[in-house]
Chains A and B, each alone.
Chain A
Amino acid sequence: MSIGHALLGLLENGPRHGYDLKRAYDERFGHDRPLHYGQVYSTLSRLLRNGLVQVDGTEAGGGPERKRYAITEAGVTDIDGWLGTPEKPEPYLQNTLYAKVVLALMSGRSAQGVLDSQRAEHLRMMRALTRRKADGDLTDQLVCDHALFHLEADLRWLELTAARLDELRVVST
């Protein structure tokens, strides 16, 4: 789960204060693990350093929490790349995928595309495993089956999400 991409995605909707960002993040993605302020500011400063965000203005009183951040051109490109690249299929991806889908929806990008490319990636992996299973011995088969069942579960989740995109769009924007 990349906090940097998530913050970038949230900034894409408009400049925000650091405090706002944390609140927005927690609301959407941090149900069980809210961010610490420290994590927010360290991530923001990394993004600043890489030129993906810029400081939009500072309110009187100084201090880090008074700065307003905005996304740069480079930041948007980075987000594009991230959303367009399927994750490597592995177990427990749902947090990342969920964030990707929500951010794609918030920014008006194709959430369906995100899901489709991800499911293609998953299937490619499953096909490879299936082939290995066919050639391998029993141990191999059992190991592959374990992975296959997990991947299948993820894939089903992807399908379910795809089927419920419209509901999700209402909730997340």
Chain B
Amino acid sequence: MTELLVAKGLAKAFGPTNALVDASMSVRAGELVAVMGPSGSGKSTLLHCLAGILKPDAGSVTYRDAELSAMPDSERSALRRNDFGFVFQFGQLVPELTFLENVALPLRLGGMRRAEAERSAKVWMDLLEVGDIASKRPGEASGGQGQRVAVARALATEPKVLFADEPTGALDSLNGERVLRLLFDAARQTGAAVVLVTHEPRVAAYADREVVVRDGRTQDVELVA
């Protein structure tokens, strides 16, 4: 399998806090990687560096042999728009827009016409079993429904890599697992790789591989065993 996304020796500090000290990991096409570790260990920071949202202080992130930090902002944005997808714990939907408009948003940013974008958004919403609340707004639905919509939005552009940061953190285990199953199945279908930050071993158990972050350092546990 080809290495899609490779991070080597990442370091990132926020003022006096060293969020990442020496983190390396790779993501292969179509695989599902779980990132685990204690709170504050730097998981989210690692994810943001991988996705090109944060610029690491040291180290490199390459996507398909292109160095992310060397790209101009517009190119990185285009990458986020076309090749990456994001699902976070909350706060990622635009509260002013309906669910349908939210899902169609990345497509429209990519230049798709409104009607077309909303048609294909509807397909994804149906797939995630939230087609019936398409015209509601984020304030008007449950957390689980909102999360499914977020997944639909992340998948709508058929990304190559899907980044998820504690996507089920606020949901009960049954609902959490439902959302995850839908996410993983859809990712399998489109061949997207998934990088999943989670605290829950049961969630991590869905992954093919696990990366543990401790105090800003990664350990590829597979190698230790």
Cβ contacts A130-173/B at 8 Å (1 or 0 each): 10000000000000000011011001100100010000000000
Which residue in chain B gives the minimum CB-CB distance to A86?
Answer: B225
Q: Do the beta carbons of B222 and A130 come within 8 Å of each other?
A: no
Quick check: is A22 within 8 A (CB to CB) of the other chain?
A: no
Instruction: List, in ascending order, chain B residues with CB within 8 A of A126's CB.
Output: 201-202, 204-205
CB distance from B183 to the nearest CB of A (A): 14
CB distance from B222 to the nearest CB of A (A): 7
- Among B202, B204, B208, B224, the residue within 8 A (CB) of A113 is B224
Q: How many of chain B's residues have a CB under 8 angstroms from any CB in A?
A: 16
Cβ contacts B190-209/A at 8 Å (1 or 0 each): 00000000001110111110
Of the 9-residue stretches A8-16, A41-49, A50-58, A117-125, which lies at the interface with chain B? A117-125
Instruction: List, in ascending order, chain A residues with CB within 8 A of B222's CB.
Output: 120
Instruction: List, in ascending order, chain B residues with CB within 8 A of A129's CB.
Output: 205
A149 to B177, CA, bound (A): 13
Quick check: is A26 within 8 A (CB to CB) of the other chain?
A: no
Instruction: List, in ascending order, chain B residues with CB within 8 A of A86's CB.
Output: 225
Secondary structure of the A contact surface, majority rule = helix
Query: Known contacts being A159-B38, A163-B38, is A151 close to B201, with CB within 8 Å?
Result: yes
Cβ contacts A52-79/B at 8 Å (1 or 0 each): 0000000000000000000000000000
A121 to B201, CA, bound (A): 12
Query: Known contacts being A116-B212, A121-B225, A123-B210, is A152 close to B201, with CB within 8 Å?
Result: yes
Cβ contacts A15-54/B at 8 Å (1 or 0 each): 0000000000000000000000000000000000000000
Which residue in chain B gives the minimum CB-CB distance to A155?
Answer: B201
A122 to B219, CA, bound (A): 16
Q: Do the beta carbons of A148 and B205 come within 8 Å of each other?
A: yes
Instruction: List, in ascending order, chain A residues with CB within 8 A of B219's CB.
Output: 116
Which residue in chain A gives the minimum CB-CB distance to B206?
Answer: A130
Instruction: List, in ascending order, chain A residues with CB within 8 A of B221's CB.
Output: 116, 119-120, 123
Q: Do the beta carbons of A127 and B38 come within 8 Å of each other?
A: no
CB distance from A88 to the nearest CB of B (A): 14
CB distance from B74 to the nearest CB of A (A): 40
CB distance from B185 to the nearest CB of A (A): 10
17 further A-B contacts with Cβ under 8 Å, apart from A113-B224, A119-B221, A120-B224, are A86-B225, A116-B212, A116-B219, A117-B224, A117-B225, A120-B221, A122-B201, A123-B210, A124-B225, A126-B201, A126-B205, A127-B205, A130-B202, A148-B202, A149-B202, A155-B201, A163-B38
- Chain B residues close to A by CB (< 8 Å): 38, 200-202, 204-208, 210, 212, 219, 221-222, 224-225
26 A-B pairs whose Cβ atoms sit less than 8 Å apart in the complex: A86-B225, A113-B224, A116-B212, A116-B221, A116-B224, A119-B221, A120-B210, A120-B225, A122-B201, A123-B201, A123-B204, A123-B210, A123-B221, A126-B201, A126-B202, A126-B205, A129-B205, A130-B202, A130-B206, A148-B202, A149-B202, A152-B200, A152-B201, A155-B201, A156-B201, A159-B38
